[in-house]
Amino acid sequence: MTHANETSNSNNANDLSSNDLRIRQRKKLFSLLAATVLVTGGAGWAYWKLIGSRYVSTDNAYTAVESAQVTPSVAGTIAEVRFTDTQTVKKGDVLVVIDPTDAKLALAQAEADLGRAIRRVKSYEANDRGLGAQVSAREEEERRSAAQLASAQADFDRADIDLKRRQALAPSGSVSGDELTRAQNAYASAEANLKAAKAAVAQAAATRNATLGAKESNAALIVGATVDTNPEVALARAKRDQAAVDLERTVIRSPVDGVVAKRQVQLGQRVDPGTPLLSVVPVQNIHVNANFKEVQLKNVRPGQKVELVCDLHGEDVVFDGTVEGFDGGTGAAFALIPAQNATGNWIKVVQRLPVRIRLDPAQLDAHPLRVGLSMTAKVDLRSKS
């Protein structure tokens, strides 16, 4: 009996020891778990405080640039194409030459028209001087006609008096019939001369007015202008200058430094103004369009620093960028068919807004980029804006 009790007590002691061990192990596990949670939380808080809240990043970013599209300003046939895709050009380099034959002929015609216009205006000036002399002559003629009219009027008055005097004396026989007849003939002749003088005065006045009108009409073509500033000469000169410009435009030059791309022009092709020939991509001015989610842009400001990595060069090359500004709308807003959200089953979609990032020209020169390359952009929100 005593042995059995001792055995029972021994078993109870072992059970208690085993329970204590399990309890201690459980406490140890809970302590380890709590420590893990605390460490993880602290690490997460530290990451957010030091990194997560300081940076926003996206891999939805691509290189872009304002390419120069080369188009002709005059129509013609392509005579030369001096560059092709991938070749580097400088501003002012000749890219394409249009056959200048038509432009040269047009310039020669315009120069001839200018010379003719100058001679025509000079003839207007000569006519003005001639018409001025004619007006003076007509005025002298008018004065002479007036003097002749006065003389004819005096002759008529004298003839009238002589006739009346003889008619009064005729009944008494003091005047012969022959003398009376001569007086009547003299009166008729003086009257005819008076009428002719009056007509001459009227004709002289009309001639002077006509000549004066011709002079005024001719003067209107040259008044207030010299030969060089005359409207006819100015118009002809403008056409000559336009023809000269059109001749210069048969030689098409590069508007910027860059790389030739999208060449479409071919030798012998007939082109019209505005026909796309090729593009010149100023790769030295490439920037990045980073499409950030709208929820990322709360603290993004122009002037903040950006770190960029390009898939072309890999993570070993980090570009330094600067936020320049934000597009006027999201990509969806400027889509060919913009999204219409006025429907019953509308689902909100987070939009992306393009952010323009300027790159360091020195880095671009050391590590050239091309348009459309993928980039990863990380904006430092705490950098000076």
What is the average pLDDT across 324-345?
Answer: 78
The pLDDT of residue 20 is above 80: no
Which pLDDT score, from 0 to 100, does residue 125 have? 82
Which pLDDT score, from 0 to 100, does residue 323 have? 95
* Higher-confidence position of 338 and 299: 299
Q: Set out the domains of the chain in order of their start, with CATH numbers.
A: 55-67+281-380 (2.40.30.170), 68-99+248-278 (2.40.50.100), 103-244 (1.10.287.620)
83-104 tens-digit pLDDT:
999 999 999 999 999 999 999 9
* Beta bridge mates, 358: 287, 322
Q: How far apart are CA 305 and CA 355, in angstroms?
A: 13
The pLDDT of residue 13 is above 60: no
Q: Look up tokens 């030369």; give the residue.
A: 80
Which pLDDT score, from 0 to 100, does residue 18 have? 72
Q: Please state the separation of Cα 50 from the chain's center in Å.
A: 50
Which pLDDT score, from 0 to 100, does residue 7 have? 53
Q: How far apart are CA 216 and CA 142, in angstroms?
A: 19
The pLDDT of residue 287 is above 90: yes
Question: Any residues with CB less than 8 A from the CB of 277 and at least 6 apart, and which?
Answer: 70, 71, 72, 95, 96, 252, 263, 264, 265, 271
What is the average pLDDT across 346-364?
Answer: 89
Residue 351 φ/ψ, nearest 5 degrees: -95, 160
Q: How far apart are CA 15 and CA 26, in angstroms?
A: 16
Q: Look up tokens 């599209």; give the residue.
A: 69
214-266 tens-digit pLDDT:
777 777 777 888 888 888 999 999 999 999 999 999 999 999 999 999 999 99
Q: Which helix (H) or strand (E) holds 219?
A: helix 177-219
Percent of the chain with pLDDT over 70: 89
The pLDDT of residue 294 is above 80: yes
127-179 tens-digit pLDDT:
878 877 877 887 788 888 888 888 888 888 888 888 787 777 777 766 677 77
Q: How far apart are CA 148 and CA 13, in angstroms?
A: 171
Which pLDDT score, from 0 to 100, does residue 227 have? 84
For residue 340, what pLDDT band results from cuts at 50, 70 and 90?
A: low
